[in-house]
Amino acid sequence: MLLPLLLRPPLCLPQASVVLTRCVLTLRCGAPRGLRSQAKNFLWRWRPQRLHSRGRSRKTQSQEEEWRNRNKTALTYIAAAGVGMIGLAYAAVPLYRLYCQASGLGGTAVAGHDMEQVATMTPVKERVIKVTFNADTHASMQWNFRPQQTEIFVVPGETALAFYRAKNPTDKPIIGISTYNVVPFDAGQYFNKIQCFCFEEQRLNPHEEVDMPVFFYIDPEFDNDPRMARVDTITLSYTFFEAKEGQMLPLPGYSYS
């Protein structure tokens, strides 16, 4: 009865259990030599196969658990990177604006000044520069905004005062905020403003009109820069926007669509 079972195709688990039991009994009893040899061969083939299958199953489970841990780690890094990028996007505009004001990049006049330097700097009398003034308003801004003078002549190392005028012709109060730049852009690092109205909210009541001063000087080092050798005209431009929550002011030298 054992021989037909041994010669059958691969067995399912219940059938294999029966065959294994019979093989063990065959080996214990005094069965013919040929039948005992077949039983030994079957036990030899079956036991390694089962052990290998169990080992492979444990190995597969271990690999799956390892891959799950790796996926969790990768997702954590991706989420952290996403949060970091969002934070940098929000911080990029004010940080870039501060950098432009400190370095004059993008035609931005340098913010801040050293009063001791202003008091002791020596004007370069032989270098006369024409400073022109420009005024613009955003499409949604209802103010009238213009410079009080079209141009003035200054020399490096000499302070100068200019004025802009803004008027609210509407019947409602409007809060405005301005941005500015200097052309040519490379001259921005030498254009120092001691006092101005930029990046500060200005509230005008209905039909109110005000003058806004700009107190500035051009650094004497302007005359020593080879790039400024042929620059004899500098344009200072201001653009007013209506101050609204969440509104983003354009960066110097760039524009938003």
Report pLDDT digits (tens) over 71-102: 777 778 787 777 766 665 544 444 445 445 55
Q: Is the pTM of this model over 0.75?
A: no
What's the domain count of the chain?
Answer: 2
Local confidence band at 11 (pLDDT 50, 70, 90 cut-offs): very low
Residue 4 lies inside a defined structural domain of this protein: no
Residue 86 lies inside a defined structural domain of this protein: yes
Q: At what angle do helices 33-103 and 13-28 cross, to 10 degrees?
A: 140
Residue 42 lies inside a defined structural domain of this protein: no
CATH of the domain at 218: 2.60.370.10
- Please report, rounded to a whole number, the percentage of residues in the chain having pLDDT higher than 70: 60
Instruction: Note down the domain range covering 88.
Output: 70-105
Q: Is the same domain home to 98 and 131? A: no
Q: Is the same domain home to 144 and 200? A: yes
Spatial distance between the Cα atoms of 239 and 134, rounded to a whole number of angstroms: 9
Residue 112 lies inside a defined structural domain of this protein: no
pLDDT confidence of residue 45: 61
Do residues 38 and 6 lie in contact, with contact meaning Cβ atoms separated by under 8 Å?
A: yes
